[in-house]
Structure 1
Amino acid sequence: MKGNIAIDGPAGAGKSTVARLLAARLGYLYIDTGAMYRALTWKALRQGISPDDSRRLVELAQETTIRLEDRGARDVAVYCDGEEVTTAIRQADISRQVSLVASVPGVRQRLVEFQREMAASNRVVMDGRDIGTWVLPRAPYKFFLTASLEERARRRHRELLAAGQSVELETIKEEIRQRDALDSGREVAPLKPAPDAIIIDTGQMTVEDVVARLLALIVANQ
């Protein structure tokens, strides 16, 4: 089988986990575009650049090298200018700021260039918020994963607790609500399903259920 797979959806819908597993099953390269925006946000915060400073953020995007390395066993390492930041970019402060950084048109333009270059092989599973609508609009397989705000907040809360981060559930819910608003309301490539995307509510599904559903749909549409 050949043809890129685009998976979009809001924070906490399970798209990264599903995309990683799907790529492993198909022997495809998994590309986590959200990790790329997180890496740039990590670098900006470390350099003291405000998420509101669009000019400096665009300059930073132009001078930064972000690399994703598939290490197998469902593991993808993230490097920013040669430094591994896989764990660092999942911190709560990054999650709070990444949508502001990602909303800058010049930042998106630069990272989309990287993403399209990586997808040139036509054998990638790419997840994000604008893959089917903007990054890979011609991908033959497009999915939009969603779930209720409450369910997404619970999932993110469990992830943070497992990572040793203590955050109140209501705080996470409010942060996701604000992130949804930013992602859906930005001028360039807002979060929304592509017209030809298949929408799947993952709220009552296990990860394996979702992967099986996507695989069945892909096989049926070859």
Structure 2
Amino acid sequence: MDKITITLDGHSGCGKSTLAKLIAQELDYIYVDTGAMYRAITYYYLSNGLLQNNLFIEGWESHLDSIVLSFEKHKNYNTNVIFLNGECVEHKIRTMQVSSLVSYVSKQAIIREKLVDFQRFIGKNSGVVMDGRDIGSVVFPNAEIKFWVTASARVRAQRRYEEIINSGLSVDFEDVLQNLKDRDFEDSNRKISPLKRPEDSYLVDSSNLTIQQTLNYSMDFINSYFEKKN
């Protein structure tokens, strides 16, 4: 069976990353969390004092060449996770501080260009499941299967809230909800690669579905695609 490219796009907290991981496991494909890339870059600039008062400081662009991202195995995770300059930062990039700034960072043209090139390099041989906000529309517009994953704002906020709490951090639910709404607006209205549903994508609304139901629903569509191809 020829391997294909599968993309999942949607707003923050809709469950696309969890779903993408499971699809990749089912198909034995490479999984790529592009949101983690933008979070890792945000974390880099924060931890190096180059993001202050919610703005980049002068000269931040010159540091881009010092950032090396990779996805590698780690003993604490059952899938490949993001490494920044050789360090696993999967846990460090999930804070509210990073969440509040990642949309600002990701709308910078030079950063998007760097990461889109990296994403295309990873997926050049197909056999990849990649999730993000512009994967089906910009990174892989010719992907064989595109999913648009959605859920209500409160459902998404509850999922993100539980994710943060389970990681050992404290956070207020209303702060998480407002952060999601702010990110929705910024992601959908940025000038470069705004978040939008690809016209040829398949809708997956996970608001009232368990993760297993969402996976079954998506795999039915994928299996149907392969059956038609054969």
1:189/1:169 CA distance change after superposition, 3 Å: same
User: Where do 4+ consecutive residues of structure 1 move more than 6 Å?
Assistant: none
2:65 aligns to what? 62
The CA distance in 2 between the partners of 1:26 and 1:54, in whole Å, is 44
The CA distance in 1 between the partners of 2:57 and 2:20, in whole Å, is 30
Contact preservation (8 Å) 2:187, 2:194:
yes
| Identity score, percent | 36
Residue identity matched to 1:145: V
Q: Within the alignment, does 1:114 sit opposite 2:115 as a pair?
A: no
**Deviations 1:78-114 (CA, angstroms, capped at 9, x unpaired):** 1111111111111121111111100111100001111
The CA distance in 2 between the partners of 1:90 and 1:116, in whole Å, is 24
Contact preservation (8 Å) 2:204, 2:218:
no
Structure with higher Rg: it is 2
1:45-194, aligned counterparts within 5 Å? 45-50=46-51, 52-53=55-56, 56-70=59-73, 74-194=78-198
Using the size of structure 2 for normalisation, the TM-score is 0.92
The CA distance in 2 between the partners of 1:55 and 1:197, in whole Å, is 40
1:18/1:74 CA distance change after superposition, 3 Å: farther
Residue identity matched to 2:67: T
2:20 aligns to what? 19
The CA distance in 1 between the partners of 2:48 and 2:70, in whole Å, is 19
SS of 2:200 mapped into structure 1: coil
Using the size of structure 1 for normalisation, the TM-score is 0.95
RMSD of aligned residue pairs (Cα, Å): 1.6
Residue identity matched to 1:27: D
Shift of 1:76: 2.1
Contact preservation (8 Å) 2:50, 2:57:
no
The CA distance in 2 between the partners of 1:97 and 1:31, in whole Å, is 21
